[in-house]
């Protein structure tokens, strides 16, 4: 149980376009989801906490207008990278809290902006 599905697994887009990444909890309800960014050979960096029905909480240094987060239901959170540029290329991972101390991660999305 406690499966999180993330789509797409990889995407290539042109500079200036926007890309949406979906994170779904398949067999549980997630009032809180998290979005991470991971650079090659580095650890995960928390970008924002997504709360169902309210605004996301962004970590210091993360541009809210650049990385739009929507958590409209208890099973879906989306991250939209707006006006993407090559420096936004990265591995993005979502996770959801499935219970006390239980966090389940999506399989990640590799974004390449050309």
Binding site for other proteins (CB under 8 A): 4, 6, 9, 34, 36, 41-46, 49, 91, 93, 95, 101-103, 105-108, 110
3-class DSSP assignment, residue 54: coil
Count of positions (residues) in the chain: 114
Q: Are 16 and 99 in contact (CB under 8 A)?
A: no
Least Å distance between CB 85 and other proteins?
A: 23
57, two tokens? 């909480």
Nearer to other proteins, 3 or 15 (CB): 3
The CA dihedral of 71, 74, 76, 80, to the nearest 10 degrees, is 10
- Residue placing its CB nearer to other proteins in the complex, 2 or 82: 2
- Shortest distance (Å) from residue 76 CB to other proteins: 17
Phi and psi at residue 88, in whole multiples of 5°?
Answer: -85, -10
Beta carbon of residue 33, minimum distance to other proteins (angstroms, whole number): 11
Nearest approach, Cβ of 62 to other proteins (angstroms)? 13
Question: Which residue's CB is nearer to other proteins, number 4 or number 113?
Answer: 4
Whether 76 and 20 have beta carbons less than 8 Å apart is answered as no
- Residue (42 or 73) nearer to other proteins, CB: 42
């Amino acid at each position: 149980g406690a499966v999180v599905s993330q789509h797409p697994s990889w995407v290539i887009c042109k500079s200036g376009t926007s890309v949406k990444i979906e994170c779904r909890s398949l067999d549980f309800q997630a009032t809180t989801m998290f979005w991470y960014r991971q650079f090659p050979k580095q650890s995960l960096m928390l970008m924002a906490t997504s709360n169902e029905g309210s605004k996301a909480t962004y970590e210091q240094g993360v541009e809210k207008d650049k990385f739009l987060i929507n958590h409209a239901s208890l099973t879906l959170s989306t991250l939209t990278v707006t006006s993407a540029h090559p420096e936004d290329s990265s591995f993005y991972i979502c996770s959801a809290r499935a219970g006390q101390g239980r966090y389940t991660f999506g399989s990640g999305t590799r974004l390449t902006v050309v």
